[in-house]
Structure 1
């Protein structure tokens, strides 16, 4: 079991599974000096997709098919990007699936869209016209596909569902004066909130489109879920319905040992090809119960579910017997990840990563060396990497 005075073995590799340093662009210069080995950097909205892409172009982990181990793990290559649309901003996406071409919406169409997707239905036309311009779902999916093609190691994220989030009032002059000068535009920080939320059906529409893209591209997903554990599970499950794993009979197993049929993975599903669900998904800063954990560990689920934890979001108890700790104990050792969920890179991010490692090692009764190795191995598998003779490989 980890001791509080034991030095964290950073050299074994510490990996942040979910963070947002492009929200504070000036902090990116601190990344090469961080003790964490790799940051998994999330995009969330229109203003930061290209920022994440640019950061990955400059500091992204190099494709291991064309690099040495030294290049792969260099201080200059410490980012794996993720491209996605966060549920907080899902009202800005318009469903254009019923149209044959993309046309910029008129003012009336913009108002009608926001009245359809926001609850309770807003009547203030001036408010609705002041909300951000709309982006078609098909355009966003194509843009994201392009980024994923450009960055072969990229994930899909941050995506998800959120029942509690109210949309903010657009920035006022006062808000612009008070906001951090180096904060990326489009965020929610410091804004006053309206009484309106994005309907769950619209959030699900945006989420499912991104899950299908992740399945098509065979990329892992980082998923947000707040006060929506039941509907989130149902939404995810709808994407793998009909693809569930089943236990093979002795005769089927024997047949596969001789000649695997149609790329079967040995569990009654087929590998390769397009699927409507991602191969792996992480529930970030997981806030569910141990019972919710068990729901995601049913052997028939064909998507490997991971659970990540932070000290910035998760509410750890003083006595180690709280809801978070109980959930951690219910998670298999090979499905736990750690994250900072911070919007500023640097020493504070490292400190939060160390803090959550120590929390998990304490709950799991791991010593620090074993814990860091386990968490690092988990992250490698989650993002689609593996280790061979100590070198990361695709």
Structure 2
């Protein structure tokens, strides 16, 4: 991994991705221990991720984009350990790299798309949570306690995700709300930042923030990141109002999700550079650099800013949000 930084390389921070999920075979069943073969495959994959993101041996050749940090979002309890493996491999690789420090942030949470899989795992494990909660709540809390730099993510609400076989939501909204609130409570208790997913669910989400959690400091997570933000400009005002006095709020936009929408540039201007981060939301680590570069170009055009300034400002925002300054 040793490399020498070429001049004029652009150092990005990817504030939200899932590159552990480009692992061949995806995520193993939770109830099974990693076999030697699977563990070795994870190690090889993690090495490839680190090699690609940290830069090639000859840094004078190839792309001028270098990733200097990322937040790696889990999706369900099955992949908490995999997130740890990838982050650990990158940390070890970074020690041998001369291109500068790399910050990797493990994030643990249950994504609304995968809540039904977590529920199924609970049934297999024979779990019976007290008070109608979730079997994975203690696992989430323990994972965060074991890693003081870890954050909560990706969590949220989504009413647009349906099972094609039945036409019904994979998980009913009321159950999603319960899971979201449970994870917000843990993040609040442990004072951890949160990465939030919201699709066609701004009403329920704002209701939770306004009515289920208090209005003073310490009543909500200290920092909240609304990733791949798809709301209108008015929703920015509503989110900010719901979090005022309790949480710092930042926003991100993923090229593969947001850049086809004609409203995205307007919303970016509404938010402003001081509360923006760059993200990819990618599973395939090989796409991260190009996506970050496209993101910086889009934001620079929307805000009429110099691209290098956009990269520097958004990276600083991400470092501050994740407590890495």
Same fold (TM over 0.5): yes
Q: How far apart are the structure 1 equivalents of 2:239 and 2:209? A: 10
Alignment of 1:122-201 (within 5 A): 137-167=133-163, 192-197=164-169, 198-201=171-174
Give the length in aligned residue pairs: 277
Q: How far apart are the structure 2 equivalents of 1:380 and 1:161? A: 26
Name the structure 1 match of 2:306: 367
| 2:285 match: secondary structure | coil
| 2:255 match: secondary structure | coil
Name the structure 2 match of 1:224: 197
| 1:17 match: secondary structure | strand
Name which of 107, 116, 121 aligns with 1:82: 107
Q: How far apart are the structure 1 equivalents of 2:165 and 2:209? A: 29
Shift of residue 59, structure 1, vs aligned partner:
2.2
Q: Deviations over 1:2-30 (max 9, x none)?
A: xxxxxx9544x311111111111265313
Specify every segment of 5 or more residues in structure 1 that has no aligned partner in the other structure, as ranges: 1-7, 63-68, 95-102, 107-135, 168-191, 244-268, 270-274, 387-394
Name the structure 1 match of 2:295: 356
Q: Deviations over 1:10-58 (max 9, x none)?
A: 44x3111111111112653133332211121111023312111222233
Judged with a 3 Å threshold, the aligned counterparts in structure 2 of structure 1 residues 211 and 367 are, in CA distance, closer, same or farther, namely same
RMSD across aligned positions (CA): 2.9
Q: Deviations over 1:94-150 (max 9, x none)?
A: 6xxxxxxxx8269xxxxxxxxxxxxxxxxxxxxxxxxxxxxx844312111222122
**8 Å Cα contact 1:21/1:345 also seen in 2:** yes
- Kindly indicate whether structure 1 or structure 2 has the higher relative contact order, using CA contacts under 8 Å at least 6 residues apart: 1
1:310 aligned onto 2:254:
yes
Q: How far apart are the structure 2 equivalents of 1:314 and 1:53? A: 29
**8 Å Cα contact 1:334/1:374 also seen in 2:** yes
1:283 aligned onto 2:255:
no
Name the structure 2 match of 1:240: 213
Q: How far apart are the structure 1 equivalents of 2:98 and 2:84? A: 19
Name the structure 2 match of 1:330: 270
Name the structure 2 match of 1:296: 239
Judged with a 3 Å threshold, the aligned counterparts in structure 2 of structure 1 residues 308 and 196 are, in CA distance, closer, same or farther, namely same
Q: How far apart are the structure 1 equivalents of 2:180 and 2:304? A: 36
Judged with a 3 Å threshold, the aligned counterparts in structure 2 of structure 1 residues 145 and 211 are, in CA distance, closer, same or farther, namely same
Shift of residue 239, structure 1, vs aligned partner:
4.5
Q: Deviations over 1:277-334 (max 9, x none)?
A: 21111111101101111112338341111110111111346xxxx2111111110321
Q: TM-score, normalised by structure 1?
A: 0.64
Judged with a 3 Å threshold, the aligned counterparts in structure 2 of structure 1 residues 332 and 61 are, in CA distance, closer, same or farther, namely farther
User: Which structure is higher in helix share?
Assistant: 2
Judged with a 3 Å threshold, the aligned counterparts in structure 2 of structure 1 residues 77 and 381 are, in CA distance, closer, same or farther, namely closer
Shift of residue 161, structure 1, vs aligned partner:
0.1
**8 Å Cα contact 2:50/2:89 also seen in 1:** no
Shift of residue 357, structure 1, vs aligned partner:
0.8
| 2:257 match: secondary structure | coil
Shift of residue 87, structure 1, vs aligned partner:
0.5
